[in-house]
Amino acid sequence: MHTKTIARHGSHDAPPPGDRPTGATAALLAGVGTGIGVMGAVLALAGIASPLRAPFTLFFLLMAPAAALATALGRMDPPGRAVAAGAGALAIDLLVAQAMLALHLWSPRGGVVAVAAVSGALLLAVAVRRRAGRAPGSRAG
pLDDT band at 3 (very low <50, low <70, confident <90, very high): low
pLDDT value for 11: 46
The Cα–Cα gap between 26 and 70 comes to 15
Average pLDDT, the chain: 85
Contact 121, 65 (CB under 8 A): no
pLDDT tens for 95-107 read 999 999 999 999 9
Whether 20 has a pLDDT exceeding 90, the answer reads no
Q: How far is CA 8 from the centre of its chain?
A: 31
pLDDT value for 22: 72
Which residues, 6+ apart, have CB-to-CB distance to 120 below 8 Å?
Answer: 68
pLDDT tens for 33-80 read 889 999 999 999 999 999 999 999 999 999 999 999 999 998 889 899
More confident residue, 93 or 3: 93
Contact 65, 115 (CB under 8 A): yes
Which residues, 6+ apart, have CB-to-CB distance to 18 below 8 Å?
Answer: none
